[in-house]
Structure 1
Amino acid sequence: MFPSHCSVCEEDLPLGTVCVCVCVCVCVCVCLPLSTLRRTNEATSGVLTSSPSLSHTRLTWSVFPSPSVLEILQLVKKRDLLLADTHILELEQECNESAAAATEPEDAGSSSVKDGGRRKAKDVELLYEELQKELWAVVRESLRSPTAGPNLGLVVQVLQQEEQTDKDWAASEAAAPGGPRPRRLKQRWREAVEAVAGGSLPQETEFTAGELDGYLDRLRARVVDDLGAAKRNVVSIYPEEYQPFEVYVQSYHQAVARRLQAITENQLEITDIYSLLDWLHNMYNRDVLGTVCITSPFSRSHLSPLLPSETVDRLELDCLNSVRAKVTTELSQVLEEEEKRWMETLHIEEYQITLAKTVIQRLQVDLERSASINRSLGSRVAQCSLNGLADFLYSFQRKVEMFHEGMQSGMFGDNEDGYVSKTIALVNCCPPFRGFVQRCAQCDPSVSEDSLRRANKALDHIVQQGVRVLSERLYLHIRPFFERLVKRKWLSNTEPYEQIEALIKEHFKKYHRMDSPPYQLLVAEVHRRVVMEYLRSVMRGRIICTSAKMRKRMAGRLRDEGTQIKVLFKDLESLSSWLDSSLSHISEIIQLEDVPSIQMEVGVLVREFPDVRKKHVSAILNIRGMTRQAERQEILNIVKDIESSDGGGSGSGLARLSRDHALFSEVPVTSEVHCLNVGLSRIALTASSCFSTLRPRPRKTRTSVQENPDDVL
């Protein structure tokens, strides 16, 4: 395969050797073994190392002439970067030698030497400028080029060669400040990577007010894509000590910070502020650094904040100021417009209005956005919202009060159906408002107590006023029929109670449109009022039973209508079932014959209704016709004993009893007959009725019912 004779040196070649001819000014022949033939990266044409085993080696060193500046520049343009840098270093060395020679005593040629040295120094600097342009161009292009490895490898070799030259220069005696060394190309490389990052990311001028979230999303996508490309195409080319991936991460991090700082120099819209704060606190760490770290773990400790803390504080303060302006200005306008609409739509039966929905939607945007950013900002925005909302709800309460005052005074005409529906609609605003208030208060209960109390107080007042208006209007319709209960004709006439039940059902067709829990308060109040008015009719003592048959008949009637009341309010979803047993206990007291059984039933009644007093039990005993003083006293003593065992008199017991469970305390006793003989009482009542016929009768009114002497048996 290889010739066994060298035609130049005319000698036989040993097996496994080849003859290489090198021409400088003369042709020199060197015979080398194939295993030792190699090309070096020296500035000369190369060093050919001969094998000691060859006795006929002619020469071990040959020298080419140094290339010109133009030739070096061509090497740079062709991106033969390592060779070009090597020649530039040679040229720089010649400059240094010329400079050293210029310091010797002047002779005739010293000025020309100095001029030549200065020209070479300029050439070196120009060549370094061109070399760096190509170096950083390769760095820039290699990011997205999977085939840029060879050129980038030359860049790395140049950096290493230059770093070594800087070290050698620093260790030499010729090192002096102010010269071209150290060139610090490794630092320039980092700056080049920063320039790559700065040029790759979307510019801040591409940001449009109100659309910062879109710009930040483009920023996120570009950072993630570029760092992924760096990991795939670039990082493996660099030595580990360069920490290339960390350099790229740091460069892109700083480029992002510069974009955000430029954006925050101008006033931002509130939507853009929320987007930016969310990006700073969450999305950048999660969706940018977190995504990159999955495939290429790195330390985040060296990354500085994207924005100074003063800037972040200013942005958060802008959020709070926006919320304050919203609850003081915008919501006040909403309430004014809503109040006008109440008057204009009285002729329309509407049971829902959009006030609560509108207010909550406007405040909920800030609450949700701030809470998604971080807990601290969410808590501050929630507290600010709650403070403003408490003031707003008080204004709402005053508007509702004026509305009711105007309707009840006839200022807005007589529109019963419209008034009822509007009252329900106003009450229906309270549950969503209350839920939103509670949500705001949960963010920081320690500082929300006062505002929470004020807000709930206003809502309670609106609900209570609405319940009072509706229950009173219902009572105006059913009151005449209560006047006809527990009379002689009542025993054989079911019409009064049937009318009461029918009117309640009719009204609750509308009242059912009220939302819970206010509806539960309304039905509980109506339930309590109906039972209480029924008890008032009983306590008037307009029937006195004279026989066991009569007692049984009356007790049965009380029991039946008590059961009907229970069923009625169960269908209306009343939760006040504790009221239902009052009439059944009274019916048992009236019907029972033996004193011990009556005592036991009275004890149960007093236990279930602690506000029952002796006068109530006495009135019931009058109805059943019990006139024996001893028996009455035995039964009444049960009430006294229970009151004593409960630890106090009537005052302390009632003080502990809330109005929600007070029933008999609001039931007056208008007729008591203690020890009169039944016959005498009948004579007295009959005589009284005779005298009353001789007196002119008062004119009947809508709210009064004439007593009939036949009502007492």
Structure 2
Amino acid sequence: MTVTTGSHPGTPVLTRGTFRIKMPRFLKKHRRSATSSETPVITDPSITLEEPVVLNFQECLNQRYFSKAAQKLITQEDSLFAQGANSTPEDRNKLESDYNKLLNQIWLAMKGTFEAGTRETEILKEAVRAIQLEEEQDRKWKDAGLPEERDVPGWRPLDCRTKHDSQLRELVRTRLEDVEDVSGADNLSSSLKKEICRKGKRLKNDLLTVVQNVKLCYPEEFDICNLYARLYHEAFAEQLKSIAEFGLDAEDSVYLLFWVNDCYPEDVLKCNKLTLDINTEALGPLLPEEMISPLKDLYLTYKESKMESWGRNVLEKQKEMTNHPSEIDGCYSTDMAIDYLQLFDSAVKSAATMLEDPEKVKRIAGQLRVFLTSYKKFLQEVLKERHGQAAPTVKAHLASLIEFKRYIENNGSLFTMDTRDSPLSIVAELIDASNTYLTSIAHKALKLKYSKLGTEDWFSGNYIEVLDEIEKQIKNLKNNLHMKCHEVLLGRMHREVLVEYVRRLFKRKVKLSDRVQQETAANLVCMDSSRLTELFTEAGSREDWLQNLLPKIADVLRTQDPPFIQLEVAILARDYPDLSSRHIGALLNLKHNLSSEDISKIKQSVKETMQCIPSGNCRPFFSMVAVKRQRLALI
């Protein structure tokens, strides 16, 4: 053996035969420690040592002690290259073969990553430790800075980390392809839907396993959770691209878009257990826009057709139950709104996620107008029933219409509100028609009692039963009516009763000739007002703007001096701006002690006063009160 100086000063080069090996510094340290190690001598006879069990490389490999096996090979590698002249090609080939055995066993162990069990977890930890050891050995050889390849083992660098990532990529691809054992998709209608669903479930379940168990086997530097997420994302995207290019029917295309734009980003990536360990924002979309856009167009057409079909089915179901509405908690009820709005709301929300375009979502929402147009035709046929026979059905559908109204008002951005054909306009029209049908039944029963209002019997204080009959009809209206309908129906009845009351009063069937009669009439009007307000408020009416109407009319009847009468009429006109000259004339004509000239002056003065008062948003009342044209009413 001869010793010569290498290219680096002070670095010995050992030569023997045809081998000329320069010894790296980390191997010189190993050589010194190997030659200087001595077996400790125990002089105390009372101390005995248990002979340790020492496993050779193959035994470590067989028992899956990969880190120990790797360390043995690294030690052997250091020894071979430290001894230099004593290494032979056979030694090197044997060592390289053992490395291949080790790596094959490590990759095989990694295939069991998702198999449950403590043993599999420990084996994976061993595999990762072995990879770390080999990565460290690669770095040592790289840092040694040896200039010639023959000075470095032929298997270095092993690049275990790179190979590890490649093995995981193949593992992920295989697991997403072999999904027949994944449960939870058997109820889907097509084999392709089942395949997509199973792939998605496999992806989510595997990522949950990664963040809950697998990450415990890896050091932080591997960033294993994000690595798996990226690999699964890429594999899933690639397989979905192949599916999208296959040529799908409408339902399968919609289901594919559902996974791409809804289920995967919302259910999988936003899973709380995953977001703590995975940067989902870095993953990007599953499919490129040029593939998603045709799917969106197909989805839009499909959903419009589907919703139209849903609407027909819901209406057909209602037609079968027209004469026999069900009762829930004592109220006539129909599940029309529940059936349709659940489907509609789900479709609109899904479209918002799937289409990501508010204008296209409005096209989906436009199907509500189509449905309500058909619903309108159906209800119009129901409302043709005479003699109140359809009252139970109308009450049931009134509750349904209230639900439609609330939904549209709470989701106004979906609809066009400024046209008559908008959903809200159709619903408002149907609510009005339903209320009219129900209140007309009550007014028919009240007709005889109404005829006594404003007559001598009423003025004389005789008991005319009109308020009692009104109370009875209020109870009939509320009977079997859902509480949410009370406000709108009883509010309408409240308005209509007061309109009829004022109309009868303005017919001038009673002549109030002096102060006493006028004050008596005013008191009667106030008493009736108080009773009516109490009845309707307790019944559910919220028409508070009507509670001062009759008292203000009573103030006109009670006041005697023309200038003060003029003031009271002006106050009435201010609060109810649709009070016309004809209405003023009819009211003042009740006061027979008021001259025609005084009436004309008051009317003219009020007219001029009202022209100076800006019109507000007051609700109309007197425009609903029909009065006959009177000679004295003309200015």
In 2, Cα distance between equivalents of 1:492 and 1:196: 99
Alignment counterpart, residue 253 of structure 1, candidates 220, 230, 248:
230
Q: Which residue of 2 aligns with 1:386?
A: 365
Q: Is the 8 A contact 1:190 1:247 kept in 2?
A: no
Cα 1:359/1:615, change in 2 over 3 Å: closer
Are 2:148 and 1:172 aligned? yes
Are 2:213 and 1:235 aligned? no
1:434 deviates by 2.1
Cα 1:127/1:380, change in 2 over 3 Å: farther
In 1, Cα distance between equivalents of 2:258 and 2:575: 58
In 2, Cα distance between equivalents of 1:583 and 1:485: 14
1:579 deviates by 3.5
In 2, Cα distance between equivalents of 1:290 and 1:537: 72
Are 2:626 and 1:662 aligned? no
Q: Under a length normalisation based on structure 1, what TM-score does the superposition of the two structures give?
A: 0.63
User: Which stretch of the first structure deviates more once superposed, 634-643 or 614-623?
Assistant: 614-623
In 1, Cα distance between equivalents of 2:75 and 2:584: 120
Q: Is the 8 A contact 2:334 2:400 kept in 1?
A: yes
1:305 deviates by 5.1
Q: Which residue of 2 aligns with 1:327?
A: 307
Q: Which residue of 2 aligns with 1:524?
A: 491
Residues 213-292 of structure 1 correspond to what in structure 2 (within 5 A)? 219-227=203-211, 229-235=213-219, 243=221, 245-246=222-223, 249-251=226-228, 253-255=230-232, 257-259=234-236, 261-262=238-239, 265=243, 274=258, 277-281=262-266, 283-292=268-277
Q: Is the 8 A contact 1:532 1:666 kept in 2?
A: yes
1:285 deviates by 4.8
Q: Residues 338-390 of structure 1: CA distance to partner in whole angstroms, max 9, x if unpaired?
A: 1232146699996221100111122333455667x69x749578534421112
Q: Which amino acid aligns with 2:35?
A: L
Percent of pairs with identical residues: 14
In 2, Cα distance between equivalents of 1:531 and 1:589: 17
Q: Is the 8 A contact 2:398 2:434 kept in 1?
A: yes
Structure 2 counterpart SS, 1:333: helix
Are 2:327 and 1:338 aligned? no
In 2, Cα distance between equivalents of 1:646 and 1:503: 35
In 1, Cα distance between equivalents of 2:208 and 2:339: 40
Residues 77-226 of structure 1 correspond to what in structure 2 (within 5 A)? 80-81=69-70, 84=73, 129-137=100-108, 144-146=120-122, 153=129, 155-161=131-137, 171-172=147-148, 184-194=159-169, 203-207=178-182, 208-209=185-186, 210=188, 219-226=203-210
Q: Is the 8 A contact 2:396 2:481 kept in 1?
A: yes
Cα 1:272/1:594, change in 2 over 3 Å: same
Residues 57-72 of structure 1 correspond to what in structure 2 (within 5 A)? none
User: Which stretch of the first structure deviates more once superposed, 378-387 or 462-471?
Assistant: 378-387
Q: Which residue of 2 aligns with 1:484?
A: 452
Q: Residues 402-435 of structure 1: CA distance to partner in whole angstroms, max 9, x if unpaired?
A: 3223x24xxxxxxx45411212222211121122
Q: Which residue of 1 aligns with 2:390?
A: 419
In 2, Cα distance between equivalents of 1:576 and 1:582: 11
Cα 1:91/1:513, change in 2 over 3 Å: same
Q: Is the 8 A contact 2:514 2:593 kept in 1?
A: no
In 2, Cα distance between equivalents of 1:397 and 1:499: 35
Q: Residues 448-491 of structure 1: CA distance to partner in whole angstroms, max 9, x if unpaired?
A: 55799611011011011112222223222222333333333443
Q: Is the 8 A contact 1:201 1:222 kept in 2?
A: no
Cα 1:452/1:358, change in 2 over 3 Å: farther
Are 2:444 and 1:465 aligned? no
Gaps in structure 1 of 5+ consecutive residues: 1-37, 52-70, 94-115, 237-242, 294-298, 409-415, 676-713
Cα 1:347/1:223, change in 2 over 3 Å: closer
Q: Is the 8 A contact 2:311 2:340 kept in 1?
A: yes
Cα 1:332/1:145, change in 2 over 3 Å: closer
Q: Is the 8 A contact 2:525 2:550 kept in 1?
A: yes
Are 2:377 and 1:398 aligned? yes
Structure 1 counterpart SS, 2:277: helix
Cα 1:333/1:622, change in 2 over 3 Å: closer
In 1, Cα distance between equivalents of 2:601 and 2:503: 23
Q: Is the 8 A contact 2:576 2:622 kept in 1?
A: yes
In 2, Cα distance between equivalents of 1:247 and 1:620: 88
Structure 2 counterpart SS, 1:335: helix
Q: Which amino acid aligns with 1:387?
A: G
Residues 309-324 of structure 1 correspond to what in structure 2 (within 5 A)? 320=300, 323-324=303-304
Q: Under a length normalisation based on structure 2, what TM-score does the superposition of the two structures give?
A: 0.70
Q: Is the 8 A contact 2:474 2:490 kept in 1?
A: no
Structure 2 counterpart SS, 1:48: helix
1:133 deviates by 1.3
1:227 deviates by 4.7
Cα 1:476/1:667, change in 2 over 3 Å: same
Q: Residues 157-186 of structure 1: CA distance to partner in whole angstroms, max 9, x if unpaired?
A: 4445457668999953889xxx98876454
In 1, Cα distance between equivalents of 2:30 and 2:111: 26
Q: Which residue of 2 aligns with 1:351?
A: 332
Q: Is the 8 A contact 1:487 1:543 kept in 2?
A: yes
In 2, Cα distance between equivalents of 1:325 and 1:434: 24
1:87 deviates by 6.9
In 2, Cα distance between equivalents of 1:148 and 1:184: 18
Q: Residues 521-564 of structure 1: CA distance to partner in whole angstroms, max 9, x if unpaired?
A: 43333333322323333333233344544444444444433443
In 2, Cα distance between equivalents of 1:283 and 1:141: 23
Cα 1:646/1:81, change in 2 over 3 Å: same
Alignment counterpart, residue 538 of structure 1, candidates 488, 505, 526:
505
Residues 621-632 of structure 1 correspond to what in structure 2 (within 5 A)? 621-626=588-593, 629=595, 632=596
Q: Which amino acid aligns with 1:235?
A: P
In 2, Cα distance between equivalents of 1:347 and 1:150: 68
The structure with more radius of gyration: 1
In 2, Cα distance between equivalents of 1:148 and 1:554: 99
In 2, Cα distance between equivalents of 1:260 and 1:222: 16
Alignment counterpart, residue 403 of structure 2, candidates 432, 445, 453:
432
Q: Is the 8 A contact 1:486 1:538 kept in 2?
A: yes
Structure 2 counterpart SS, 1:351: strand
Q: Is the 8 A contact 2:512 2:591 kept in 1?
A: yes
In 1, Cα distance between equivalents of 2:58 and 2:581: 121
Gaps in structure 2 of 5+ consecutive residues: 1-26, 39-55, 83-87, 114-118, 189-193
Cα 1:365/1:302, change in 2 over 3 Å: closer
Report how many aligned residue pairs link the two structures. 563
Cα 1:481/1:233, change in 2 over 3 Å: closer
In 2, Cα distance between equivalents of 1:72 and 1:620: 116
Structure 2 counterpart SS, 1:661: coil
1:230 deviates by 4.9
In 2, Cα distance between equivalents of 1:302 and 1:590: 80
Q: Residues 658-679 of structure 1: CA distance to partner in whole angstroms, max 9, x if unpaired?
A: 894231663314655699xxxx
Q: Which amino acid aligns with 1:333?
A: N
Cα 1:49/1:658, change in 2 over 3 Å: closer
Q: Which residue of 2 aligns with 1:505?
A: 472
1:396 deviates by 0.8
Q: Is the 8 A contact 2:552 2:572 kept in 1?
A: yes
Q: Which amino acid aligns with 2:373?
A: Y
Alignment counterpart, residue 640 of structure 1, candidates 577, 581, 604:
604
In 2, Cα distance between equivalents of 1:579 and 1:225: 67
Aligned-CA RMSD value: 5.3
